[in-house]
Chain A
Amino acid sequence: MKKFFTTMVAGAFAAVSGISAAVADPVKVGFVYLTNPGDHGWTYAHEVARLDVNKHFGDKVETTYVENVPEGPDAARVIRELARQGNEIIFTTSFGYMDPTLKVSKEFPDVKFEHITGYKRSGNMATGNIRFYEGRYVQGVVAGMMTKSNKIGYLASFPIPEVIQGINAFALGMRSVNPDAEMSIIWVNSWYDPVKEADAAKVHIAEGADILAQHTDSPAMLQTAEKAGVHGFGQSSDMKAFAPKAQLFSSVNNWAPYYISKIEQLMDGSWSTGDGPDHWAGNTWLGMADDYLVLTEFENMPADVKAAAEAAEGKIKGGFNIFTGPYSDNQGTVILKAGEAYHDGNLWNDMNYYVEGVNGKIPG
């Protein structure tokens, strides 16, 4: 209910929050945000990139954003409104906007849509994503070497492909250095609920975890870790200010190059979702090698761990495929034999298991 009203208010004032430019006919760019940029996590990273877009293009673009838009059918109204206001390209920045974006994209064939982290596309709807899992492999390496209890606590949001990829990449990194370490997953069923995230972190610590990782958006987990004297990893943006002693590093999402290149493509007419039945070619999925995912400084760890983290980061930047065999799922079934490796399609379609080292099973 609350969110519904917030959205109505947000929708009504969408036009007001636009940053106006003085020059005639700037390219209008719309953004749809899941929470407000004040989450200091996921949406904050998008807002930083939007400001970079303004800086890069100056008065050649005019950006507008709508915050606190709930995922699901209601989002379509907000996206449609942005299209009606004359935005030529609209970025919808959460997985749950996938179907609403697809629906609206059919109503406005001349507007370009970029949906972030989904997999459905059309002639004028492309997808953009960052290879978040690359950073999580490095986190796994650090966690595996740092843990004394061999118990890692992981906070997850919703069982969607990118979250499962993250969990498995973390576990593969962890098991590459420490075959005895195990991960427990708590699904908080929310992207953003600071108190619940803190509660879940406390539960992990009470259960013996000494390294925490998260796929949720607030700095609450790291603050809890700081207070309890354990370590953890920040999410989406640098969270060092919240946990100077606890943060080992953060994987920072850098959306600016993606936004800028897509807007440039729109300006010079080369924007495309590519050919083929699923329009795969025109879509963006880059990672550490292209600075779409940036790791903050490795801190609060011994020199050998730091060296291993740097080595893992370098290896991935050099083209190492994390999902390379041999490995099994946590039921003992062999997934990939030595020499076999996943390609991108597998990551989205076939990863419905936890790898060895992760406790429990995927909900739902």
Chain B
Amino acid sequence: MEQLILTVILTSVPLIFAASGELIAERSGVLNLGVEGMMLMGAVSAFAIAMGTGSPILGMFAGAFAGALTAGIFAFFALGLATNQVATGLALTIFGTGLSGLIGAPLVGHAIDGLPQIHIPLLADIPILGMLLFQHDIMVYLAVIMVGLCAWVLNATRVGLIIRAVGDNHDSAHALGYSVLGVRLLAVMFGGMMAGLGGAYLPLVLTPHWAEGMTAGRGWIALALVVFASWRPWRVLGGALVFGGITIMQLAGQARGWTIPSQFLSMLPYLATIIVLVLIARNREFALANSPACLGRIFHAGK
């Protein structure tokens, strides 16, 4: 059982990174559908650097950097040239998928050691809990720290207030003298960095090799999680664990010979997402309380 819970935690990490990054971008009013592309760029860069230098930690930084850089391309078009965010985001996913495949072609067929687990002294020796909470690689801890950081910055700091102001009413924020595009650029780049970290977790820990398109749609799940979490960071963490939990439960159910059709079991994570969305939507005030009013809307300073 502990092993299964451990698997749930690990499989949720990429989603936690990518979704909380996208959450910040969306709270600033930018809908970036390019998460999948940014994750793949992060994954291929992390693997290339980790393989080249022999250091998975450097790989992690490379993944973050590549993700932010890819987001910069999105920002150039969607913010700089005020292109349609949905179309630009979709294009970014296609671009990231293709470019990562091109960069990664010579990396196919190689394996690396991946990030080591860190045993936190004393705590790691607690029965069961120690294994579940205190024997992870550094990125698991980083994921939780980043969620906490996002929540704190958004809710308790002036920076968070500015981000939310820009996302909720960009004209007012502009009138108050805040640089709407500047704030959004930083938020989008932060989102890209987090997506890059999420992508990097795949070749650095989960499956220590590079394969084209290895994220297999997790970027889209991360996007759904932001809505699922009603734009609140800690709910992203919870949502990712629920999603991971149901995924692993259906796999375990099959291994134990449950007689429910596997197609139905495979559907469960998505079904759960829809059910939660419906339940949330019944209370519109609750659901949309944190939804950025300017999400996806183009800002013109001269207006």
Interface residues of chain A, those whose CB is within 8 Å of chain B, are 1-2, 5-6, 9, 35-40, 44, 68, 153, 184-190, 192-200, 202-207, 209, 218-220, 223-224, 241-243, 359-361, 363-364
Enumerate chain B residues within 8 angstroms of A204, measured Cβ to Cβ.
Answer: 255
**Least distance between B46 CB and chain A CB atoms (Å):** 14
- Let me know if A360 and B261 touch, CB within 8 A: no
- Let me know if A194 and B255 touch, CB within 8 A: no
Cross-interface CB contact of A193 among B90, B93, B216, cutoff 8 Å: B216
- Let me know if A195 and B216 touch, CB within 8 A: yes
Most chain A CB within 10 A, of B1, B90, B261, is at B261
| Given A186-B251, A207-B255: A363 touches B207 (CB 8 Å cut-off) | no
- Let me know if A40 and B108 touch, CB within 8 A: yes
- Let me know if B216 and A194 touch, CB within 8 A: yes
Q: Which residue of B lies closest to A217 (CB)?
A: B211
- Let me know if A195 and B11 touch, CB within 8 A: yes
Q: Which residue of B lies closest to A153 (CB)?
A: B255
Question: B interface, by DSSP: helix, strand, loop or mixed?
Answer: helix
Cα distance, A35 to B97, chains bound together (Å): 13
Enumerate chain B residues within 8 angstroms of A190, measured Cβ to Cβ.
Answer: 216
**Least distance between A352 CB and chain B CB atoms (Å):** 14
Cα distance, A202 to B208, chains bound together (Å): 14
Residue B101 at the A interface, CB < 8 A? yes
- Let me know if B214 and A199 touch, CB within 8 A: no
Q: Which residue of B lies closest to A199 (CB)?
A: B11
Enumerate chain A residues within 8 angstroms of B214, measured Cβ to Cβ.
Answer: 194-195, 218
Q: List 9 A-B contacts (CB under 8 A).
A: A38-B210, A44-B108, A184-B256, A184-B257, A190-B216, A192-B211, A196-B216, A207-B256, A242-B111
Cα distance, A40 to B212, chains bound together (Å): 10
Residue B110 at the A interface, CB < 8 A? yes
Cross-interface CB contact of B94 among A2, A153, A192, cutoff 8 Å: A2
Q: Which residue of A lies closest to B266 (CB)?
A: A189
Cα distance, A241 to B218, chains bound together (Å): 26
- Let me know if A218 and B211 touch, CB within 8 A: yes
Residue B209 at the A interface, CB < 8 A? yes
Most chain A CB within 10 A, of B3, B14, B209, is at B209
